[in-house]
Amino acid sequence: EDEVLVAVVVPHLPTGMTGTYLKFGYHARPSLGLGVALRLDRAPVVGSDGFQELQSASIQEVRVSVGSVGPKAVRAREAEEALQGKNVGDLLGSSTGNGARLLDEVGQLAAREADPMDDMHGSAEYKAHLVQVFLRRGLIKALGLGQG
């Protein structure tokens, strides 16, 4: 009762830590909210050739949260486990299609964990698709490779 908050101290992010939050919706309450936080084994610096330095980094730690599509906000732990330790170059690699397959797989895991449900904002199937698309966009944005 007799306490007053005088300061909030937020520590600096460790080297290699990055993240983003994306939301989708036309109303005050978003139809989807998705957060991605990554810690790479080195700072996510895009090299002079565009990708060289970033592609050799690997994901040391990752957190994925999804909200507004199901009964409650969730941390997508299975999706996190699928991303843990992965090389960024493997995720982004499009020549073999392996990166796209892995991102699709991770998106499906996150969508399943979010437990989407039908409501006035869309069907469960539509929301599951949004989770997959936004997870891919969130990873790309968190890595500094696009607007998401």
Whether 98 maps to a domain, the answer reads yes
User: Structural domain of residue 91, as residue ranges?
Assistant: 17-142
Tell me the pLDDT tens digit for each residue of 8-38: 998 887 878 888 999 888 777 777 888 888 8
Whether 3 maps to a domain, the answer reads no
Whether 75 maps to a domain, the answer reads yes
Tokens representing residue 121 in the block: 């904002």
Instruction: Count the domains in the chain.
Output: 1
Whether 121 maps to a domain, the answer reads yes
Q: Considering the entire predicted model, what is its pTM?
A: 0.81
CATH (domain of 63): 3.30.390.50
Tell me the pLDDT tens digit for each residue of 35-62: 888 887 776 555 565 555 677 788 999 9
Whether 8 maps to a domain, the answer reads no
